[in-house]
Amino acid sequence: MGTYAEASTPELKAELDTLNKAYTEFKAKGLSLNMARGKPSPEQLELAKPLLDCVNSTTDVSAYTKADVFNYGGLDGIPEAKALMAQMMDVPAENVIVCGNASLNIMYDMVSRAMTHGVLNQKPWCQAGPVKFLCPVPGYDRHFAITEHFGIMMVNIPLREDGPDMDLVEQIVAEDNTVKGIWCVPKYANPSGVCYSDEVVARLGALKPAAPDFRIYWDNAYTVHHLDPAHPVKIASIKTACEEGGNPNMWYEFASTSKISFAGAGIAAIAASDANIEDINRQMAFQTIGYDKINQLRHVVFFKDLDGINAHMAKHAAILAPKFAKVRETLDAELTPTGVGKWTDPKGGYFITFTGMPGTAKRIVELAAGAGVKMTGAGAPFPYKKDPEDNVIRIAPSYPSLDELSQACALFCLCVKIASIEKIIATH
Amino acid sequence: MGTYAEASTPELKAELDTLNKAYTEFKAKGLSLNMARGKPSPEQLELAKPLLDCVNSTTDVSAYTKADVFNYGGLDGIPEAKALMAQMMDVPAENVIVCGNASLNIMYDMVSRAMTHGVLNQKPWCQAGPVKFLCPVPGYDRHFAITEHFGIMMVNIPLREDGPDMDLVEQIVAEDNTVKGIWCVPKYANPSGVCYSDEVVARLGALKPAAPDFRIYWDNAYTVHHLDPAHPVKIASIKTACEEGGNPNMWYEFASTSKISFAGAGIAAIAASDANIEDINRQMAFQTIGYDKINQLRHVVFFKDLDGINAHMAKHAAILAPKFAKVRETLDAELTPTGVGKWTDPKGGYFITFTGMPGTAKRIVELAAGAGVKMTGAGAPFPYKKDPEDNVIRIAPSYPSLDELSQACALFCLCVKIASIEKIIATH
């Protein structure tokens, strides 16, 4: 049999019978695998275990910092942690605040504060009537969850190979003063793997927003997460782009070590302009006396600097790259002959995006779940969980072992085939 | 000379000259001491250093918990940390959420969420018009800062020996449906040292609030912070009181180990009813995937249970009790003969409250600062920093060494004397 598009209905029906038998056999295996979330694998986490020893009961802390890491204080983080995160985020240390264990929490707080207190002396959004965010799609489900939670209307923006559709972004941002933000994962994007081109970054920095409190929410979550450390992708600085575009305060950058040290016990940071940093610190002072400085110091002692982080991430890449290759190989082998679907070849990050026939994503995820493989929910990479084509599925290869991944991908391909043939037959 | 009240103006003027000379001598010492904040001393923090070794690179974590503390997940905390904090807070573990490093942050988040999303299906406060909180005074400045930050009107409630003036609280809460909360530090209160009586707790639990989203913000910050561990004060359970009073959802309890393990690197928790906990978890899921579970585990391994915490806190008491005694002794010796002021004799917590002559607190703090001793700002223990009588000063004896404390207290007494005589002369 050739591609499904060329096959006759009887051929497809016969093929579907065969596939369904294989599916039943898979089901009998009683698998319980998960390709749903971008979780580091136990092997990756193991690499960071020595970090736990970096600040112990005998450590001479004064050799590393003048900060009193055991007591209160230090709202914006210890200077050495600010310097470390600043290197990683490619901004000056004075433009960084190091917070707790999750950049998600910082993003949430930034939106929450904007709702109740406004952005840099502008009116609080909760008093400003409807507020909108631009959402390049497919994108990160937890971004969209935050904006939806706060009742912010989300506007889909097509994400191209080099970043968001800038013609559209420029037009909307200039015309609509209720548009207050755009969610961006500029490098190895979740889930597409897209890296924003220099031109896109420059155009973002040069936006002429109608709203003075419009901000670019630059979630640089995967900045050091290369799959091929010898050929890391470099993207342009959003800080520089905004400054050169005459919008020095228009950006917030977020990053964390959640997928570098420990997911859930890393350190997270926000970078922003001087004026924004001052405003954020002023507001943060009501919320906390300071974040966990001991954990900040652990990271400083363990990683030392960006070189240390990069060396560590090369070890991650050695674990992750074969997993990404396995997914691609399986999809290439199983699906290319059918002519169904396409899938990304990311150079970093945590995800492969599969795009299937319209109207099949939910069915594929349902079939996979039925045989014990949990995928990210269909629709998740879209605002309101609504995939307009119902054809995008986020694949997260990081957590399962290579063996588990082989099985999970084989099943996934089977489910794609079944759902696709079902769809074709139904429309014949 | 007898008491200042009995002295003649010439006697007082002569005494003021002598005092001013002594003050000038003090100034020449170039002291730089701090009795402003309730910070643990280095000696107390030292006691917790072995906690840092409790989870190291060789620890068999599975011996302590089934939770994967190194990866994502566990929104409400690892079960063992919930159990530990539940023991300390005297509530069932299922009514506890363990969060990050600061109960202040949890309190801020609770108020912030109430503003934007409302409390248990009630209207968000930001849409509900003016909102009020009752503030027993003197109280904790950071509580008042949060409510002020969110534009919540604060109503002073006199704090008596056994807790807030309940006649007033009952009346206001029943009559005014814009009253949405009351800040309480029920044990060894900041700064008064007051412990709420069983009757007060019962009356709080039996309130008949006009607002269905009225909550008691029960900041049990000092529950195990006894100065005499052989005679710990016990207070009634706010959970039980609210249940017996027919208000099972009316309480939120907050606690942390900030003044047990490390200030800034402890763990913090909120306890609440089943319905509240479900609602908080639902909302928290937008904010974070989970807090630092490794640090939660450190605390579990180090303290084991409430007995472990109590044993540790007895060591704190051995350090703190002599400091509190020193302050009292100095004030007794220096100020009792003058007939000026009174000061509390707390059985736990972090503060002594000094009440001087009306209209002298700001001057005393100013004088102390002028000679190198930083006190908590006059007015700080009151909403909007407005002490109606300008006569309350919070003394924080925990951080300085005994020697430093001797000097600081001697200077403080000198400043009280100067400010008081100045006041008396000015009103003669």
Supply the pLDDT for residue A358: 98
When CB atoms are compared, the residue of B37, B109, B286 closest to A72 is B37
Angle of helix A361-370 relative to helix A402-427, nearest 10 degrees, comes to 130
Instruction: Provide the 8-state DSSP code for A226.
Output: B
Find which of B112, B113, B256, B299 to mutate to test the A interface (most A CBs within 10 Å of its CB).
B112
Distance between CA atoms of A142 and A137, rounded to whole angstroms? 13
Beta-strand pair B96-98/B268-272: antiparallel
Q: What is chain A's percent helix, strand, coil content, to nearest 5? A: 45, 15, 40
Q: Which residues pair with A355 in a beta bridge?
A: A342, A392
Residues of chain B with CATH 3.90.1150.10: 4-45+310-427
Helix (H) or strand (E) holding B254: strand B251-256
- Average the pLDDT over A172-193 and give the result: 98
Chain A residues inside the 8 Å CB shell of B45: 70-71
Residue B229 preceded by cis peptide, ω within 30: no
Yes or no, beta carbons of B59 and A71 under 8 Å apart: no
Yes or no, beta carbons of B108 and A295 under 8 Å apart: no
Yes or no, beta carbons of A292 and B293 under 8 Å apart: no
Which residue blocks in B194-305 are alpha helix, DSSP H? 198-205, 238-244, 274-284, 293-303
Q: CA-nearest residue of chain A to B259? A: A71
Closest chain A C-alpha to B133 CA, distance in angstroms = 17
* Rg of chain B, C-alpha, whole Å: 23
In this structure, are residues B88 and B313 in contact, taking their beta carbons and an 8 Å threshold?
no
DSSP one-letter string for A233-280: -----HHHHHHHTT-TTSEEEEEESTTTS-TTSS-EEEEE-HHHHHHH
Residues of chain B with CATH 3.40.640.10: 61-305
Q: Does the structure's ipTM exceed the value 0.95? A: yes
Give the angle B321-B325-B327 at the CA atoms, nearest 5°. 120
Q: CA-nearest residue of chain B to A142? A: B286
Indicate the Cα dihedral angle A399, A402, A408, A414, nearest 10°.
140
3-class secondary structure, B355: strand
Chain B residues inside the 8 Å CB shell of A52: 55-57, 59, 294
Residue A420 has pLDDT above 90, yes or no: yes
Query: Count of CB atoms within 10 A of residue B129's CB?
Result: 8
Supply the pLDDT for residue A1: 74
Residue type (1 letter), B16: L
Instruction: Provide the 8-state DSSP code for B39.
Output: P
Chain B residues inside the 8 Å CB shell of A291: 100-101, 264
Supply the pLDDT for residue A39: 96
Chain B residues inside the 8 Å CB shell of A71: 39-40, 42, 45, 262-264
3-class secondary structure, A333: helix
Name B59's Cβ contacts closer than 8 Å, sequence gap at least 6. Answer: A52, B301
When CB atoms are compared, the residue of A53, A102, A293 closest to B56 is A53
When CB atoms are compared, the residue of A56, A69, A108 closest to B286 is A108
Supply the pLDDT for residue B200: 98
Query: Count of CB atoms within 10 A of residue B62's CB?
Result: 9
Supply the pLDDT for residue B198: 98
Yes or no, beta carbons of A101 and B102 under 8 Å apart: no
Q: How far is CA A213 from the centre of its chain?
A: 24
CATH architecture of A66-304: 3-Layer(aba) Sandwich (3.40)
Say which residue the tokens 């409190």 belong to.
A213
pLDDT digits (tens, 9 = 90+) for A258-285: 999 999 999 999 999 999 999 999 999 9
Say which residue the tokens 């006759």 belong to.
A8
Give the angle A409-A411-A415 at the CA atoms, nearest 5°. 115
pLDDT digits (tens, 9 = 90+) for B207-257: 999 999 999 999 999 999 999 999 999 999 999 999 999 999 999 999 999
Residue A153 has pLDDT above 80, yes or no: yes
Name B374's Cβ contacts closer than 8 Å, sequence gap at least 6. Answer: B33, B34, B35, B36, B368
Q: How far is CA A140 from the centre of its chain?
A: 5
* Assigned token pair, B89: 């807070």
- Backbone torsions φ then ψ of A136, nearest 5 degrees: -55, 130
Residues of chain A with CATH 3.40.640.10: 66-304
Distance between CA atoms of A4 and A424, rounded to whole angstroms? 8
Query: Count of CB atoms within 10 A of residue B83's CB?
Result: 19
Say which residue the tokens 């609280």 belong to.
B169
Chain B residues inside the 8 Å CB shell of A126: 115-116, 124, 126-127
Helix (H) or strand (E) holding B253: strand B251-256
DSSP one-letter string for A133-195: EEEEES--HHHHHHHHHTT-EEEEEEEETTEE-HHHHHHHHHH-TTEEEEEE--SS-TTT---
Distance between CA atoms of B186 and B222, rounded to whole angstroms? 9
Supply the pLDDT for residue B237: 98
Angle of helix A141-149 relative to helix A103-117, nearest 10 degrees, comes to 20
Q: In Å, what is the CA distance from B39 to each residue of A340, B150, B262, B346, B347?
A: 64, 26, 10, 17, 18
Name A9's Cβ contacts closer than 8 Å, sequence gap at least 6. Answer: A425, A428
Chain B residues inside the 8 Å CB shell of A116: 112, 115-116, 126, 150
Residue A144 has pLDDT above 80, yes or no: yes
Chain A residues inside the 8 Å CB shell of B74: 264
Supply the pLDDT for residue B428: 78
Q: Which CATH code, of 2.60.120.260, 3.20.20.70, 3.90.1150.10, 3.30.2450.30, is assigned to A4-45+310-427?
A: 3.90.1150.10
Name B23's Cβ contacts closer than 8 Å, sequence gap at least 6. Answer: B367, B371, B411, B414, B415, B418
Distance between CA atoms of A165 and B323, rounded to whole angstroms? 65
When CB atoms are compared, the residue of B105, B115, B291 closest to A116 is B115
pLDDT band at A312 (very low <50, low <70, confident <90, very high): very high
Q: CA-nearest residue of chain B to A107? A: B287
Yes or no, beta carbons of B264 and A127 under 8 Å apart: no
DSSP one-letter string for A47-116: HTGGGGGSS-TT--GGGT-SS-TTSS--TT--HHHHHHHHHHHTS-GGGEEE-SS-HHHHHHHHHHHHHH
In this structure, are residues B183 and B139 in contact, taking their beta carbons and an 8 Å threshold?
yes
pLDDT digits (tens, 9 = 90+) for B390-408: 999 999 999 999 999 999 9
Residue A369 has pLDDT above 90, yes or no: yes
Supply the pLDDT for residue B421: 98
Say which residue the tokens 């509530």 belong to.
B91
Q: In Å, what is the CA distance from A395 to each residue of A34, A191, A350, B190, B324?
A: 10, 8, 9, 52, 60
* Assigned token pair, A197: 């081109």
Supply the pLDDT for residue A129: 83
Indicate the Cα dihedral angle A79, A81, A83, A88, nearest 10°.
-160
Beta-strand pair B342-343/B352-355: antiparallel
Find which of B287, B293, B298, B301 to mutate to test the A interface (most A CBs within 10 Å of its CB).
B287
In this structure, are residues A122 and A101 in contact, taking their beta carbons and an 8 Å threshold?
no
Task: Classify domain B61-305 at the CATH topology level.
Answer: Aspartate Aminotransferase; domain 2 (3.40.640)
* Assigned token pair, B32: 């730089």
- Average the pLDDT over A15-25 and give the result: 97
* Rg of chain A, C-alpha, whole Å: 23
Q: What is chain B's percent helix, strand, coil content, to nearest 5? A: 45, 15, 40
Distance between CA atoms of B159 and B143, rounded to whole angstroms? 15
Closest chain B C-alpha to A280 CA, distance in angstroms = 13
When CB atoms are compared, the residue of A53, A115, A292 closest to B101 is A292
CA within 13 Å, CB half, A419: 25
Q: CA-nearest residue of chain B to A141? A: B286
- Average the pLDDT over A213-238 and give the result: 98
3-class secondary structure, B133: strand
Find which of B101, B299, B374 to mutate to test the A interface (most A CBs within 10 Å of its CB).
B101
Name the pTM for this structure.
Answer: 0.97
pLDDT cut 70: percent of chain A above it: 100
pLDDT truncated to tens, each residue of chain B (428 aa)? 789 999 999 999 999 999 999 999 999 999 999 999 999 999 999 999 999 999 999 999 999 999 999 999 999 999 999 999 999 999 999 999 999 999 999 999 999 999 999 999 999 999 888 999 999 999 999 999 999 999 999 999 999 999 999 999 999 999 999 999 999 999 999 999 999 999 999 999 999 999 999 999 999 999 999 999 999 999 999 999 999 999 999 999 999 999 999 999 999 999 999 999 999 999 999 999 999 999 999 999 999 999 999 999 999 999 999 999 999 999 999 999 999 999 999 999 999 999 999 999 999 999 999 999 999 999 999 999 999 999 999 999 999 999 999 999 999 999 999 999 999 999 87
* Assigned token pair, B153: 């009107």
Residue type (1 letter), A394: R
Distance between CA atoms of A275 and A248, rounded to whole angstroms? 9
Chain B residues inside the 8 Å CB shell of A115: 116, 126
Q: CA-nearest residue of chain B to A37? A: B72
Task: Of A7, A102, A69, give the one whose Cα is nearest residue A297.
Answer: A69
Chain A residues inside the 8 Å CB shell of B127: 126
Sign of CA dihedral A68, A70, A71, A77: positive
